[in-house]
Amino acid sequence: MSTFITDTAKTAHNGIFPSNEVMLDLKDLKKVYPTPKGDYVVLEHLNLQIRKEEFVTIIGHSGCGKTTMLSMIAGLNPISGGNISVLGKHIKGPGPDRGVIFQAPSLMPWMTALQNVMLGVNQVFPHATKGQRNDIAKYYLQKVGLEDAFNKRASDLSQGMQQRVGIARAFAIKPKVLLLDEPFGMLDSLTRGELQDILIEIWNKEKITAVMITHDVDEAIFLADRVVMMTSGPRAKIGDVLDIDFERPRSRKSVLEHDDYYKYRKHLIDFLEH
Amino acid sequence: MKQSLTLGKVTKFMGLGFLSSFKDLFTGKLEKEDYKAFLRKVIVPIASVLLFIGLWHLGAKSLYNVEAEFRIEKALNEQGQAAADEMAACIASGDISCQPNTLPSPSQVWASFQSLLKDHALISADKAAFIEKTAALNEKRVAEGKDAIVYTGRPSFVDQIFRSLKTVFAGFFLALLIAVPLGIFIGLSPTLKSAFNWFIQIFKPVSPVVWYLLVFMIVKTLLIDSSEDSSFSISFIAVGLCSMWATLVNTSMGVSSVDKDYINVAKVLKLGNFQKVFKVVLPSSLPLIFTGLKITLSVAWMVLIAIELLAQSPGLGLFVWEEFQNGANDSNAKIIVAMFVIGIIGFLLDRLMLAIQNWVSFEKTDAI
């Protein structure tokens, strides 16, 4: 399985992919939850390599173990077997080198938008002056279109705006890998489109290696360099990988009008329906 | 962002929103559709208060009659017809010596309330005069290194109220200082939780009276060399120990049940323990901590009366007890006055805590 992925990785993008350096490497990953009736194996023999500056979306049926995999990469869920490494180093628990955008915005509701972003920035740049840290936080909040809401309390922001703060918070700590767990799943489709645009705009600038879980086939194609399809659990693993050869930066319109779009879409839907 | 604080906002904040209906009535701002709400929020409570006073009046009257008849009957059986007639006449004349001693009527209670206020004015004047008279002498005594002479007269009813408030707040802050930090530690550490759990479960239901006795045993010995009156220390410590449990349980529950998402954020950002506690755990458990403190304050006020009574510490509890022992003809009425004062102050303390809770917490809680 792993050779298959490495092979496709090499041929992808006609060899023009900026880097073939492996940023994130999942080797023979396994997750077991003990239950009174014996062990329940969620993931088994899961292999996945993600290159530097690559955007990978992961799609699969509900309950197949996508979120389990992502939280294992984040270090929030212990690994039962195999290993995960970032730039060749095995991970040990959570850390700011792997930024997470959660499904719920998970902002501290008693803090302002700025304070929420600063919470991470202060932690990652302890040697910067207060002014510099403030500038970093404000820069990313501006990038997500919240320049008028620095001092609004998170609890006073709409869901969509809260998730924008979540995006700013994740980018502001300059992680090596960005993990997105269905970040737009709770939003209405209009807001979702807006946030996808904002996300991809920042990402085009920062080029942080990203792994994103989604249920939305169109979202998966629009954002990704590669769509990874997971088989249904138990014992879920990588079922198929689809390279998306659209040029970057992309616009929604050009993607939708591209001849390959429906081919990709059909591929994904065929996988999910079988 | 400055918000102008109008009277309406302040009252609503304190959970006294019904007061704004009165304001609307007087300023003529009441809309037609508001009348139903006005009827429900203002007229119905007033009517129920009047009904309550009416029933109270009738009840007090019938109890009075039962007592009066019993006295007349007793006089008749023991001393004959002449004594019975005399007793009936005496009761009818309203003479103090033979008044039936029972539940006072609303008007008697009101009269006692006024007499207590008058008494307070008298005592205050007396105290002011005393202070004026001794001012020069005290200055001299202080200069000579002697203790100043203080007023040792009888405290008035109003003085007792303030004394009680002082005791209850001292007890409340003691409870806060013990229960909040302890609750945080217990909530953070499952080990400490199992260490303290039996302790909490066993001592939480203990009666205030027993707490008082325990504190009395300890404090009496600790202050054995001190010439000072220990009744205040004993009563406020006992109040604090009785009332701290709600805060302790709520704080540890709030701390141990912080939203998992917040904890995950703290983990991903690798916040240190200090930062995690002060930036994430504590703010997120503030609403529960304040719920606990609110219960603590109301419990403190409730047990205070019993404890003051036992400790012979000046305050409303002692006032009630002394009036009961006193047995003067207006003692019962004074006890009822104290009952209302205790109730109203308890209500105001509850609203005060609610206002503080709304002020500090990110979740707005509405008054019920």
Q: Do A96 and B264 touch (CB under 8 A)?
A: no
User: CB–CB of A213/A67 below 8 Å?
Assistant: yes
* A125 interfacial to chain B (CB closer than 8 Å): no
- Give contacts of B284 with chain A, Cβ < 8 Å: 108, 110
Does domain B157-360 fall into CATH 1.10.3720.10?
Answer: yes
Q: Is the pLDDT of residue A15 over 70?
A: no
pLDDT confidence band for B46 (50 / 70 / 90): very high
- Is A94 within 8 Å of B268 when comparing Cβ atoms? yes
Residue type, B119: D
Shortest Cα–Cα distance, B272 to chain A (Å): 9
Using pLDDT thresholds of 50, 70 and 90, give the confidence band for residue B29.
Answer: low
pLDDT of residue B36: 79
pLDDT (mean) for B44-58: 93
Residue ranges with strand state E in B159-285? none
pLDDT at A6: 44
In the predicted model, what is the mean pLDDT of residues A136-147?
A: 91
pLDDT, residue B27, reads 64
pLDDT at B91 over 60: yes
Mean pLDDT, range B35-39, rounded to an integer: 79
pLDDT at A72: 93
The pLDDT assigned to B13 comes to 59
Name the band, by pLDDT with cuts 50, 70 and 90, for residue B26.
low
Q: How far is A148 from chain B (nearest CA, A)?
A: 13
CA pair distance A228, A82, nearest whole angstrom: 19
At residue A111, does pLDDT exceed 50? yes
pLDDT at residue number A2: 41
Phi and psi at residue A55, in whole multiples of 5°? Answer: -110, 115
Q: What percent of chain B has pLDDT over 90?
A: 31
DSSP string, B5-28: --HHHHHHHTT-TTHHHHHHHHHT
Tell me the three state secondary structure of residue A181.
Answer: strand
Residue with tokens 């906002």, as numbered in its chain: B9
A31 three-state secondary structure: strand
When comparing pLDDT for B347 and B101, which is higher? B347
Inter-chain contact B279–A110, Cβ cutoff 8 Å?
no
Residue contact B268–A110, C-beta within 8 A: no
DSSP 8-state assignment for residue A236: B
Residue A56, pLDDT > 90, answer: yes
**B267: nearest CB among A94, A110, A124:** A94
Interface test with A, best of B260, B263, B269 (most A CBs within 10 A): B269
Residue A238 scores a pLDDT above 50: yes
Average pLDDT over residues B66-93: 85
pTM over 0.90: no
- Give the minimum alpha-carbon distance from A268 to chain B in angstroms, rounded to a whole number: 31
What is the structure's pLDDT at B23?
63
Contact predicate B92/B316, CB 8 Å? no
Phi-psi map region of A192: left, alpha, beta (phi>0 left; psi -120 to 50 alpha): alpha
Q: Looking at the complex, does the CB of residue A106 fall below 8 Å from at least one CB of chain B?
A: yes
Contacts of A75 in chain B (CB under 8 A): 267-268
Q: Do A110 and B267 touch (CB under 8 A)?
A: no
- Smallest Cα–Cα separation from B151: which of B166, B164, B138, B160? B138
Residues of B in contact with A102 (CB under 8 A): 261, 264-265
A120 Cβ under 8 Å from any chain B Cβ: yes
Task: Tell me which chain A residues have a C-beta less than 8 angstroms from the C-beta of B275.
Answer: 123
From chain A, pick out residues whose CB is under 8 angstroms from the CB of B264.
74, 76, 94, 100, 102, 106
Average pLDDT, chain A: 87
Q: What is the pLDDT of residue A7?
A: 43
Distance from CA of B174 to the nearest CA of A (A): 27
Q: Does A153 touch chain B (CB under 8 A)?
A: yes
Identify which of B279, B361, B363 has the shortest CB distance to residue A119: B279
Sign of the torsion formed by the C-alpha atoms of B151, B157, B159 and B163? positive
Q: CA B358, CA B287: separation in Å to the nearest integer?
A: 9
The distance of B277 to chain A (nearest Cα, Å) reads 13
pLDDT value of residue A17: 58
- In sequence order, which ranges of chain A are alpha helices (DSSP H)? 2-11, 66-74, 113-124, 130-143, 159-172, 189-206, 217-223, 252-257, 261-273
* Alpha carbons B128 and B116: distance in angstroms, whole number: 18
Residue in A98, A99, A123 closest to B271 by CB: A123
Taking residues A97-124, what's their average pLDDT?
A: 91
Is A89's pLDDT higher than 60?
yes
**Between the CA of residue A30 and those of A33, A81, A213, B174, what are the distances in Å?**
10, 5, 18, 53
Residue A93 DSSP label: S
Task: State the smallest CA–CA distance between residue A102 and chain B in angstroms.
Answer: 8
CA distance B299 to chain A (A): 29
Instruction: Report which of B130, B176, B195 is spatially closest to residue B296, judged by C-alpha positions.
Output: B176
Chain A positions touching B262 (Cβ under 8 A) are 106, 108
SS3 A25: strand
Q: Flag whether pLDDT at B222 surpasses 90.
A: no
Helix axes B282-311 and B331-360, enclosed angle (nearest 10): 170
pLDDT for residue A251: 85
Q: Do A74 and B269 touch (CB under 8 A)?
A: no
Question: Domain-by-domain residue ranges, chain B?
Answer: 2-98, 104-154, 157-360
Give the pLDDT band (50/70/90) at residue B327. Answer: confident
Task: Calculate the average pLDDT of chain B.
Answer: 84
**pLDDT score at A71:** 92
Q: Are residues A108 and B279, on separate chains, in Cβ contact within 8 Å?
A: yes
> Does the CB of A119 have a partner CB in chain B at under 8 Å?
yes
How far apart CA A122 and CA A106 sit, in angstroms, is 18
Query: Is A180 touching B (CB cutoff 8 A)?
Result: no
Chain-chain contact of A110 with B284 (C-beta, under 8 angstroms): yes
* B59-85: average pLDDT: 87
**pLDDT at residue B11, as a whole number:** 59
Average pLDDT over residues A5-17: 45
Residue B368 has pLDDT above 50, yes or no: no
Mean pLDDT of B85-90: 84
pLDDT attached to residue B366: 42
3-state secondary structure of B44: helix
Look at residue A5 in the predicted model and tell me its pLDDT: 44
Size of interface A-B (CB pairs under 8 A): 60
Give the pLDDT confidence score for residue B3 in this predicted structure.
Answer: 43
Which residues of chain B does A96 touch, with a Cβ-Cβ cutoff of 8 Å? Answer: 268-270
* Out of A100, A111, A155, closest to residue B268 by CB: A100
The closest CB to that of B270, out of A94, A100, A108, belongs to: A94
**Quick one: how far is CA A147 from the chain centroid?**
24
Confidence of residue B20 (pLDDT cuts 50, 70, 90): low
Burial state string for A168-179 with b = 16 or more CB within 10 A and e = fewer than 16? bbbbbbbbbbbb
pLDDT at B296 over 70: yes
Given an 8 Å threshold on Cβ–Cβ distance, is A108 in contact with B286? no
For residue B261, give the chain A residue with the closest CA: A106
Residue A243 has pLDDT above 80, yes or no: yes
The token pair that represents A142 in the structure block: 């501006």
Residue B252: which pLDDT band, with cuts at 50, 70 and 90? very high
pLDDT (tens digit, 9 = 90+) per residue, A161-216? 999 999 999 999 999 999 999 999 888 888 998 899 999 989 988 889 999 999 88
Q: What percent of chain B has pLDDT over 70?
A: 88
* A106 with B264: Cβ contact below 8 A: yes
Distance from the A262 Cα atom to the nearest Cα atom in chain B, whole angstroms? 37
